[in-house]
Amino acid sequence: MNAFEKTAIMHVALNPYTGAWSVMRDLASAQKARDCYAGVALGVIADERWPQTYRQELTSRVDHHYFAPSPKLFGTASFLYQYLRRPGIEQWVDTLADATGADRVIVHFHNAWMTGVFLPLRKTRVPTACVATVHGVNAEFGGQPVRRGLHRWMSRRLANSSASLTSVDAANLDRARSILGLTHDRFTVVPNGVTDTDARGCHYATRGAPLVIGHVGTLSERKGWHITAEAVKHLFDQGKNIKLILAGRGQDDDKAKAFADANPDFVDFRGFVSNPRETVFPELDVLTAMSVQEGLPMSIIEAMSVGIPVVATAVGGIPEAVADGVTGHLINRDSTSLAAILTAFYDDPQALQRMSLAGRQSFSDRFEIKKILDAYDVVYSNA
């Protein structure tokens, strides 16, 4: 007998963007394809900024999908609103159970410790268990005692619930304890993963110049797009045939676009792209992630899946994915260090190709979605 044939899974998040949306969307799609659950659903609470392409994916990826509108708020305020005006997740649970015949529903939240605003769930018609995934602890709250207090309050609500906690990496568990008060023993580490793909990048060794560098994800100072831009500009000014693609959006949208407009000979600003692995990544030779802090970025996993070496800072869960000198490089967070690595790639395309092949192998061994599904099945069994 299939242990999950009477269990339905529902992935839920408030305003999920980029990596968080990719994770829950791809998990739900893969779980539906596995066909061992009573049903799989996606539930999203979002404001008007949530992209139309995401809304289309919400309704097309799985048979059961739920949406609740939210006012246009920012940061912590958007979560406090959910505490004051609950979005009706319990009704989604009951509707999913009725539609699938499930006698148990697991609600898998993807808003990290902020999930505490939704818990505990109120009474549902079938037994309901909760899982909450932490996608990194990027907040510091330095000099923000009120905001820090609110986030620790959300963490306490999560810790006091019966939710099972997972983290996409091990490195952030120390931060979860020191910043949020969530102890290591509460967590199971389950990395991010994606389905395999026929798409391939890193064609520099066979195509020749230009060497194409990409920043794919949030455009903000903390994510370091400007460091990549400075390094690529330095090499272009030296006469190297090099190109930069900026794909994503964030608080630095205008700055990134202005940089591209000022440097049209080597910069291509794409803005928001809904499925970069299939559209942007095949054009790249190198992905950069010059972040201040991270969990385990989906962009890195997706890059490895199409054979793109990664150059990144050694923060958060990145060293758990990128093997320095094998599948990419871990470097200091400055444009000089990045320019030196990109120069080495430019001069030795065969070394770049070797890293491409090693990244593909590492992805297959560790981050292909079937392995992630197996790990979550263990979590669900114990929830």
What string of H, E and C letters represents the secondary structure of the chain? Answer: CCCCCCEEEEEEEECCCHHHHHHHHHHHHHHHHHCCCCEEEEEEEECCCCCHHHHHHHHHHCCEEEEEECCCCCCHHHHHHHHHCCCCHHHHHHHHHHHHCCCEEEEEECCHHHHHHHCCCCCCCCCEEEEEEECCCCCCCCCCHHHHHHHHHHHHHHHHCCCEEEECCCCHHHHHHHHHCCCHHHEEECCCCECCCCCCCCCHHHHCCCEEEEEECCCCHHHCHHHHHHHHHHHHHCCCCEEEEEECCCCCHHHHHHHHHHCCCCEEEEECCCCHHHHCHHHCCEEEECCCCCCCCHHHHHHHHCCCCEEEECCCCHHHCCCECCCEEEECCCHHHHHHHHHHHHHCHHHHHHHHHHHHHHHHHHCEHHHHHHHHHHHHHHC
**Residue closest to 167 by CA, chosen among 383, 376, 381:** 376
Average pLDDT, the chain: 94
Is the pLDDT at 82 greater than 70, yes or no? yes
Domain ranges of the chain: 7-195+369-382, 204-366
**204-366, superfamily in CATH?**
Glycogen Phosphorylase B; (3.40.50.2000)
Is the pLDDT at 1 greater than 80, yes or no? no
Return the higher-pLDDT residue of 274 and 267: 267
Domain 7-195+369-382 falls under CATH 3.90.1170.50: no
**Residue closest to 355 by CA, chosen among 296, 320, 304:** 304
Is the pLDDT at 144 greater than 90, yes or no? no
pLDDT digits (tens, 9 = 90+) for 332-372: 999 999 999 999 999 999 999 999 999 999 999 999 999 99
In this prediction, residue 2 carries a pLDDT of: 80
In this prediction, residue 136 carries a pLDDT of: 83
Residue 315 pLDDT level (bands cut at 50, 70, 90): very high
Is the pLDDT at 141 greater than 80, yes or no? no
**Residue carrying the six token digits 């829950």:** 24
**Residue closest to 246 by CA, chosen among 276, 226, 270, 265:** 270
Is the pLDDT at 215 greater than 60, yes or no? yes
Fold agreement (7-195+369-382, 204-366): yes
Residue 138 pLDDT level (bands cut at 50, 70, 90): confident
In this prediction, residue 274 carries a pLDDT of: 82
In this prediction, residue 196 carries a pLDDT of: 93
Return the higher-pLDDT residue of 375 and 20: 375
